[in-house]
Each structure stands twice: as structure tokens, then as C-alpha cells.
A and B are shown apart, each in its own frame.
Chain A
Amino acid sequence: MASKFLVLGEVRDGSLRNVSFEAIGAAKVAADGGEVVGVLIGDSVQALGVELIQYGADRVVVVEDAKLAQYTSDGFSQALLAVIESENPDGLIIGHTSLGKDLAPKVAGKLEAGLISDVTSLEVAGGNTVFTRPIYSGKAFEKKIVTGGLVFATIRPNNIEPLQKDESRSGDVVTLSANITDLRTIIKDVVRKASEGVDLSEAKVIISGGRGVKSAEGFEPLKELAEVLGAAVGASRGACDADYCDYSLQIGQTGKVVTPDLYIACGISGAIQHLAGMSNSKVIVAINKDPEANIFNVADYGIVGDLFEVVPLLTEEFKKLKVNA
């Protein structure tokens, strides 16, 4: 049945994150021929509305306020609740990002609504939107529906296809005024650690290092390969515990869960704790000296060898490809 879905466009450093377009793609499926309304929240975000429309939103509602320049759960929930009140949608889809994970449960709590988090696919079946999501760190999946009220979900980045961008699409971008008051948390400082490279959660390619990199310097060849491929650099818990890199790079059960198109594991043994964070990647390459390493059991392609020999060769190969392309 056709219905109306809201999608929150997530803005970072003045641009929309990809997951916003994926959320529109998800909402298109869930709305089943109905309307998809983009929502933008910030202090100066109206100009981004057109891009949401080009990716499939029918129209966009913008809430702007100086107090919304940075994300706070109080400010953003007040803005989003104002849009929900004004639009009275059947459903709402947000990215399962730091922002989405922080904001969605508060809004669901306020509305006493159900919320299905970390969705990796969805379909409409038997009059319900059926959401599929990983449980037990990806060792199993569940299909879930909302049994009443708002159909509310957060979607995992990199899993749901966005629509093709269509620059000929147009639609209304209108402003809604909301009274933003009482911000109980104040951001004093932001230290950028992850911004040096590509964002892990949205990366299409990830080069990841484990204990086998042996030192902080050992990550250098991985970084070079990442640069050639436009990839993000990740790490196993072992590498983080050994202080070879920052915990912000950690992929695993504790740490980040990633699903890139290509995951290259270098010197990673493949402990269950690590697999939980990356085993749903589309293609996995393992490079490890130990032919018995568990990582080879989940890898699509494996090279048994020293990463310090293999990785620079890979970098050279990909460089050649780039030159020829």
C-alpha cells in the first residue's frame, strides 16, 4: 500500500553522506509507490535539498537554526519531531551512523514507537515492510516488522542501493520553523582522527592490518595501497591492542562493522571477534604468512606470503592499472 516516508539527509562537512541516498532508496521500496520526503536539519543546509530530490525524494523539508549547526540529540530530535508532527508520515528512515544511532532511539522513545536498527535489506511483503538485519554480529540474520505505528528503521551504510542520480528531477524544498530550546549537551571540541583518510563505515574498499604488520610503521605499505585504491585503512583488535594504530580504526565485534565491496586483510589471523566486523564484505582477500590462518576460511582469494612483500607489489600492480586506464 502506498504510504508516506520521511528520510533524514545526513550532512557532514557541508555535503550529504551517501547513506542519505541509500535511505531514499530504502524509503522508495517501503513507500511502495507513495511519497518520499527528505528532511534536512542544520544551520545552513537548504541548498542540499535539490540533491535529495535528484536521488529520488519527491520534496524536502528543511529545519534551519543556528543551534543546529552541530548535531546534538536534543536539538536534532526537536527538529525531527517538528517535521514528523507537521508531515504525519507512515514511516521514517535514517542512516545507522553515529548520528542515526544516537538520534533514532530517542525519537522512537519519545513517540513510543518501534524501531528496527541496522537494517541491511528490506522488501514489502503481505502488506508489511519486512526489514532484514544482522544479529549476533552477523552470525545470523532476522526479518522484522513493525507491528503498529510509525515504520521506523535505521539502515547500515553500503548495503542498500541508492537510485541513480537524475539531475532533471525537481521538487519543492520548503522550510519549516521549529522551536529549538534547551540543549542539555554542549559540544566543546571535536578532534578529527578519522578524517585523514576515507571513512571506514562508507568505504567501498578497505585495507586492514593485524598483528602481522608488527609496528606502527608497518601500516605504511597498507596506507600506500589504500591511497592508490581510494580505500580506507582499518585494523584488527590485535593491531590496536599492540598500539600499532588508533582504536578508531578497529574493525570487529568491538569496533566497527563494515561491509565494503572489497576487504583486503593483511597479516590478520581471522579471530571470530574480527570476522564479526567484516565477514559480510562482498569480496575478501587474505594475505597472511600462515597458510592455516582462519582468515583464509572466509576469504574469496588468498595469498600465502609476507605482507611486506605482497602489499607493495599489489600497490605497483594497481598503479599500473591506473596509468593504463
Chain B
Amino acid sequence: MNIYVLLKRTFDTEEKITLSNGKINEEGAEFIINPYDEYAVEEAIQIRDAQGGEVTVVSVGNEEAEKQLRTALAMGADKAVLINIEDDVENGDQFTTSKVLAEYLKDKEVDLIIAGNVAIDGGSGQVGPRVAELLNIPYVTTITDLNIAGTTVSVTRDVEGDSETIETTLPLLVTAQQGLNEPRYPSLPGIMKAKKKPLEELELDDLDLEEDDVEAKTKTIEIFLPPTKEAGKVLSGDISAQVGELVQLLRSEAKVI
């Protein structure tokens, strides 16, 4: 089984977001593997361990993403590929990323591609389905369970809380939802081994792509922080009086009831 995992390096979920010069300030921030992509890495490793094969983790980004790819290798992935577009692409979008990934994957022998269902920074959730479309393979998003028997695949998908069981075939792309598995922490031997595992670095040139081929179709014109919320009203007094006051406030002041 040839499994590819699409991985994005993102801000740590606990980071406070600040702006500098109209952009998100990355100075000193901690970066992690996008949490949904961690489920993807874990699932890929489990499938390989059960059915044999190889797990390749692929990231589109800049050289900084090497750290997250090494972490995935330390978890147990076999190979990593970093497609560094930093020098060629100033402002990419989901079209850019999916085009680059599809171009890399199109001549590979792919059985299964696993991605996170959304990245917690940009939050668009587009790249998985776009890549599947460009490769002309089926996909299932927000999966919580995956069973492969030969080329037949049974997938459970989270649909706003309901769950759908879907039957499909390989080659296939799936995107991971929380609940799919419990991602492992890299072990110390894993971290040692990861240092020697292959990590290939590519640029657009290596994929026969020009900047124009991957030019973004959308543009961010402004980034801003939400207005800081005024301190709320913590009520006081007897609990039942507080409850009465709260209901009044919700009716007359907040006007939501």
C-alpha cells in the first residue's frame, strides 16, 4: 500500500495572534503539525503496519516545515517530501497548494492519500478535495473510521454529528476528522531514526511548474483582529435573584430571548 499524507505546518493552537505590518506576526511563535494532519499521519502508519507498504509525508511550504516533517518521520512515516515554494510564490492560496501537490502526486503510484479535513490557521478545508479532483480520484471528507479490504474501502464520515458509512474504492483520498484515532507521540528511538530517514526537497522547477501555473485565484486585502470584548457583567447576590436578573438582561438588554 502506497500511502501519501498531506501535512501542513501551522501555528500552535495556544498561540496568541498579533499583527505586525498588517500580517499575522510569526515572530517567536511555536509551530506544530496541523492537528488534523496528525490524525492523518497516525492513520497512515496504522494502515501500513497492518497491511504493509510505505508512508510518504508531503508538505508544501518553506524550509521551516522540515521540522514538522521530521516529527512525522519520528512518529513512524517512512519518507518525507518538502515542496519549497517560498522563492517562487509570494502569495499562494488553496488553488496554488493543491495544484503543486497534484503535480507532484500525478505520476506516483498512489493507493491512498490522507489529509487533515481543515488546517487550523487558514481554515478553508479545500486542499484535500481539490487534490482529489485534480488527480481524478474519489474522496471522502471528515472521516472517523477507515477499513480497507483489497481495493474495497469502507469509510465512516462525520456529517455534522450524524455518521455516514460509505463504500468506495482505491485509489482514494480521505480527510481526517477528530475521533479517527489517537495520534502517538514520537518515541526517542523514533526521533533518532527520523534523522536518517529520507527527506527530499523540491521546488516548482522540479515539478515542471511555472509561477504562472500556480498563481493564486484569490487575494487577501486586509487582515484584522476582532474588536476586544468589553468585560462582561458578573452578577451578584442570591442565586435565584441572579437567575431572575440574567433572564431580564437577556430579554431587555441583550434582546436575544
User: Is the pair B246, A108 in contact by a Cβ cutoff of 8 Å?
Assistant: no
Docked pose: A222 CA to B139 CA in angstroms:
37
Q: Return chain A residues, CB-CB under 8 Å to B167.
A: 185-186, 188
User: Is the pair A304, B240 in contact by a Cβ cutoff of 8 Å?
Assistant: no
Closest to A300 in B: B232
9 new A-B contacts, CB < 8 A, other than A138-B226, A143-B224, A190-B163, are A101-B142, A106-B132, A106-B133, A141-B224, A141-B226, A186-B168, A193-B161, A297-B232, A314-B247
Stretch at the interface among A31-39, A43-51, A166-174, A279-287: A279-287
User: Is the pair B120, A136 in contact by a Cβ cutoff of 8 Å?
Assistant: yes
User: Is the pair B178, A250 in contact by a Cβ cutoff of 8 Å?
Assistant: yes
User: Is the pair B225, A144 in contact by a Cβ cutoff of 8 Å?
Assistant: no
> 1/0 per residue A268-308: CB within 8 Å of B?
00001100100010111110000100001111111111000
Q: Return chain B residues, CB-CB under 8 Å to A187.
A: 164-166
Docked pose: A12 CA to B107 CA in angstroms:
40
User: Is the pair B169, A300 in contact by a Cβ cutoff of 8 Å?
Assistant: no
- CB of A14 closer than 8 Å to a CB of B: no
User: Is the pair B234, A304 in contact by a Cβ cutoff of 8 Å?
Assistant: yes
Docked pose: A282 CA to B131 CA in angstroms:
36
- CB of B56 closer than 8 Å to a CB of A: no
Known contacts A140-B226, A143-B222, A262-B257; decide if A106 and B243 are in contact (CB<8 Å): no
| CB pairs A–B below 8 angstroms (11 shown) | A101-B141, A118-B125, A144-B221, A147-B217, A184-B138, A193-B162, A262-B254, A283-B256, A286-B232, A301-B235, A314-B243
User: Is the pair B160, A199 in contact by a Cβ cutoff of 8 Å?
Assistant: yes
Closest to A153 in B: B218
- CB of B202 closer than 8 Å to a CB of A: no
Stretch at the interface among B40-48, B70-78, B93-101, B187-195: B93-101
B165–chain A nearest beta-carbon distance, Å: 4
Closest to A148 in B: B217
User: Is the pair B243, A303 in contact by a Cβ cutoff of 8 Å?
Assistant: yes
User: Is the pair B244, A317 in contact by a Cβ cutoff of 8 Å?
Assistant: yes
Docked pose: A179 CA to B249 CA in angstroms:
56
Task: Give residues of chain A (135-186) contacting chain B, Cβ–Cβ below 8 Å.
Answer: 135-149, 184-186
- CB of B126 closer than 8 Å to a CB of A: yes
User: Is the pair A137, B120 in contact by a Cβ cutoff of 8 Å?
Assistant: yes
Closest to A306 in B: B239
B35–chain A nearest beta-carbon distance, Å: 6
A232–chain B nearest beta-carbon distance, Å: 10
- CB of B250 closer than 8 Å to a CB of A: yes
Stretch at the interface among B10-18, B61-69, B79-87, B203-211: B10-18
User: Is the pair A108, B121 in contact by a Cβ cutoff of 8 Å?
Assistant: no
Partner of B250 from the list A102, A116, A253, A283 (CB cut-off 8 Å) is: A283
Q: Return chain B residues, CB-CB under 8 Å to A229.
A: 257
Closest 7 pairs between A and B when the two form their complex, measured CB to CB:
A194-B161, A114-B217, A248-B161, A109-B133, A184-B138, A109-B130, A105-B129
Known contacts A118-B124, A190-B162; decide if A303 and B95 are in contact (CB<8 Å): no
- CB of A189 closer than 8 Å to a CB of B: yes
Docked pose: A309 CA to B241 CA in angstroms:
12
Q: Return chain A residues, CB-CB under 8 Å to B246.
A: 285, 301, 303, 314
Q: Return chain A residues, CB-CB under 8 Å to B120.
A: 136-137, 253, 276
Partner of A105 from the list B24, B94, B178, B239 (CB cut-off 8 Å) is: B94
- CB of B233 closer than 8 Å to a CB of A: yes
- CB of B158 closer than 8 Å to a CB of A: yes
Known contacts A110-B133, A184-B168, A313-B239; decide if A136 and B234 are in contact (CB<8 Å): no
Partner of B161 from the list A185, A200, A302 (CB cut-off 8 Å) is: A200
Q: Return chain B residues, CB-CB under 8 Å to A147.
A: 216-219
- CB of A74 closer than 8 Å to a CB of B: yes
User: Is the pair A284, B122 in contact by a Cβ cutoff of 8 Å?
Assistant: no
Q: Return chain A residues, CB-CB under 8 Å to B161.
A: 193-194, 199-200, 246, 248-249, 256
Docked pose: A141 CA to B249 CA in angstroms:
29
User: Is the pair A105, B133 in contact by a Cβ cutoff of 8 Å?
Assistant: yes
Partner of A108 from the list B95, B224, B242 (CB cut-off 8 Å) is: B95
User: Is the pair A98, B242 in contact by a Cβ cutoff of 8 Å?
Assistant: no
- CB of B220 closer than 8 Å to a CB of A: yes
Q: Return chain A residues, CB-CB under 8 Å to B142.
A: 98, 101-102
Docked pose: A275 CA to B162 CA in angstroms:
23
Docked pose: A145 CA to B179 CA in angstroms:
34
Docked pose: A191 CA to B204 CA in angstroms:
44
Known contacts A187-B165, A301-B249; decide if A134 and B257 are in contact (CB<8 Å): no
